[in-house]
Every structure is written in structure tokens, then in C-alpha cells.
Amino acid sequence: DPKIIQKPKYLVAVTGSEKILICEQYLGHNAMYWYRQSAKKPLEFMFSYSYQKLMDNQTASSRFQPQSSKKNHLDLQITALKPDDSATYFCASSRQSYEQYFGPGTRLTVL
Amino acid sequence: QQQVRQSPQSLTVWEGETAILNCSYEDSTFDYFPWYHQFPGESPALLIAIRPVSNKKEDGRFTIFFNKREKKFSLHIADSQPGDSATYFCAASDSGGSNYKLTFGKGTLLTVTP
């Protein structure tokens, strides 16, 4: 059974729209993260959360907003989408500062 | 700015050879160094990691060598197999920091030729 679930697997959006990327982990971890991977910038850290509190935000834009409704959930809301946002978005989790495990990713294409 | 540099960008070895992938870092507060591999269409998967209490970590055919003085670490893949062909990423973090952020290198595309 998958331990980290990301939905959807593929997502196509139009410029200017808003989308939410879903992440749930069933590893019992207290820390969750979002990373982004594109041809231009491989594996770039975006956010980290611990016990549902934001630890760090390395995105330059407020268009990216993480949302944690439960301790094992960390969704990513992206508003005013741009073609440059096209990338694969990976959710990851860990027990405190230890090994991070990645979910399967959501591949976002913005037209 | 925290950076992790990785080389070579691509590497081809014959089956049975040892592949050597290299990384260096700048931030002296980094104290956790994992390696991930990623197959096409899949997510990065944790392969092996080291903390600099030691300068070597082995797991089967995979060995990390760590040089704290030079701020370098490398992944050696012994007896390389075609199934090892993937992109390998090194990373680093400050485990005592407040954000648990992993800083990744740009990756090495490894091809193992039968």
C-alpha cells in the first residue's frame, strides 16, 4: 500500500487558474515538505511543516500556499497559475530531521 | 547561499565496474548527507545516507565516502548493474536547523552498459 499519496497524478491547468495539490502520508511522520522538480531547477525545496506548523517557506511567491488540515496532510494551493509553474511537485515526509521519503508526485502542466 | 555541487553531470560505466559520483558543499552546518536515485517517471528514492560521525557508510554495493575537511562526499556503486541506470542526487541538510530542508545537487545521470 502506498505510504504517501499524492493526488492527482497529472494535472493540466490554464494560465490564471487555481489548483490544489493533495498530499497524505501514512508513515506516522511529524514533518512534511513540498519540493518542485523541473527541467530548469531540479529538486527545489519549497516548504517544510512540523506538527502542522510552518517551519520554512523558500518560495518567492505568495501564490503558493501550503494547507495542513490534519497532521498527516499537507496540501499545496497554487493561485494565478503561470506556464512557468509547470513542474512535478513532490510531497515528502520524515520523522523530525531524519530520512525524507518522497511521494509519487503530481505533474502539473500550465497552458 | 547554501549550495551542493554534483559531478559529473552524466556518467557511463560498463556492467561490473565501479561508478563514482561526487558532491561538494559549502555550508559547514550541514551534517546529514543522503543520496537519492530516481528512475524515469518515478519519485526520488532514498538510497543511503551518512552523518559525519564517520567517514564511510556501506550498504551492499553502495558506499558513501565523506571528507569533512574538504567538504566533499562521494557515492561508489560497486559491480554496477544495468538496473542501476538512473539519475542520482546528492543532498545535504543541517539536522539541527529549524527547517529540515534538503538542498539537492543537480544530479548525475548514470548509464550502466551491459
Say how far apart CA A45 and CA A94 lie, in whole Å.
14
Residues lower than pLDDT 50 in chain A:
none
Say how far apart CA A33 and CA A10 lie, in whole Å.
19
Contact A45 B32 (CB under 8 A): no
pLDDT at B83: 97
pLDDT at A59: 86
A31 touches chain B (CB under 8 A): yes
Give pLDDT tens digits for A50-70. 888 888 888 878 999 999 988
Question: Contact at 8 Å (CB) between B95 and B50?
Answer: no
Q: How does DSSP classify residue B101?
A: P
pLDDT over 70 percentage in chain B: 96
Q: Which residues of A touch B44 (CB under 8 A)?
A: 43, 90, 102
Q: Where residue B1 falls among pLDDT bands split at 50, 70, 90?
A: low
Contact B100 A31 (CB under 8 A): yes
In terms of phi and psi (left: phi > 0; alpha: psi -120 to 50; beta: otherwise), the region of B100 is left
| Angle at A46 (CA atoms; ends A84, A28), nearest 5 degrees | 135
Give pLDDT tens digits for B21-69. 999 999 998 999 999 999 999 999 999 999 988 899 999 999 999 999 9
Q: How does DSSP classify residue A63?
A: T
Contact B101 A45 (CB under 8 A): yes
A-facing residues of B in 44-103 (CB < 8 A) are 44-46, 49, 89, 91, 93, 95-103
Nearest chain B CA: its distance from A3 CA (Å)? 13
